[in-house]
Amino acid sequence: MAKRIWNKSMDRDWLNISMGLIKGIPALAYENDYTKDSERIRIIISLTTWAIWKTRNKSTMNNQEVTTIEARETLKNLITDLVRKSWNATRFMEDGRRLDRQCELWTLWADKQLTF
């Protein structure tokens, strides 16, 4: 699901995800990144890891069977929730900072039409 979101929304190729990359995700940066692709991939990988963890816990601790569709929906909901909360948080900022942050969020999530 994360790879599909990336491929539909970005011009860069999807990275080969490994445990080493997941552990070092805070240090991941593309050279000459003016479109916030580095930040976007860090967020998508982190939220994917969190979605996997949540579904794993639901499956093992609650003895509930989890389908791949549910796991995908968990990731989709996490990303949607993050975008919505980030945008809503700008309402409490001063005018100049609000516009800057809204521009940053637009560049991060909407420039390439993030789709699920």
Burial group, residue 25, by CB count within 10 angstroms (0-12, 13-18, 19+): middle
Query: 85-112 burial string, b = 16+ CB within 10 Å, else e?
Result: eeeeeeeeeeeeeeeeeeeebeebbeeb
86 part of a folded domain: yes
Decide if 116 is inside a domain. no
Averaged pLDDT, 5-10: 77
Q: What is the predicted pLDDT for the residue at 113?
A: 60
Give dist(CA 108, CA 100) in Å, integer.
12
Overall domain count for the chain: 1
**Greater pLDDT, 10 or 65:** 65
> 40: domain range?
2-25+34-110
Higher pLDDT, 108 or 87: 87
Is residue 17 a part of any domain in this protein?
Answer: yes
Which pLDDT belongs to residue 110? 73
Q: Model pTM?
A: 0.77
90: left (phi over 0), alpha (psi -120 to 50) or beta: alpha
- CA 103, 106, 107, 108 dihedral sign is positive
Q: Is residue 103's pLDDT more than 90?
A: no
**Tell me, what's the pLDDT at 89?**
93
Q: Is residue 9 part of a domain?
A: yes
Q: Indicate the DSSP class of residue 25.
A: G
In a domain, 102, yes or no: yes
Residue 13 lies in a domain: yes
Q: Is residue 77 in some structural domain? A: yes
For the chain, give the mean pLDDT. Answer: 85
Q: What pLDDT was estimated at residue 116? A: 58
Q: Please, which pLDDT band fits residue 104 given cuts at 50, 70 and 90?
A: confident
